[in-house]
Amino acid sequence: MNRQYVNRSQVAALSVHPMVYLVVALVLTLAAGLFYHSVQTARLADQVAAQTALLAQLRTTHANTLVRAAQPLPATNASPATVERIVPQERWVF
């Protein structure tokens, strides 16, 4: 019978080598996940800031519209001849 003798250091090296690759892969995966999370958080913050600015603009426009609506409209002196010259337009609804 031929017996092969293997040093214990060779067996230990074989079991440590895949572990190192596993640890490096896990660290890289964790770093990539943290980077992705930070990018998504920044994108979400930009979206919230844009929506807040848009809402503020819409509220300002709405307030200005309400102020203008509260002001009395100027009286127009429309003569009957002017009213008769207005031609009704046809509207097609499909």
User: Looking at residues 46-61, what average pLDDT do you find?
Assistant: 88
Return mean pLDDT, the chain.
77
Domain assignments of the chain as residue spans, ordered by start = 8-73
SS3 state at 66: helix
Q: In the prediction, which pLDDT does 75 show?
A: 56
Q: In the prediction, which pLDDT does 64 show?
A: 74
pTM for the whole thing?
A: 0.46
What pLDDT digit, counting tens, does each position of 9-33 carry? 665 656 788 889 999 999 999 999 9
The gap from C-alpha 89 to its chain's centroid, in whole angstroms, comes to 44
Give the containing element (helix H, strand E) for 3. none
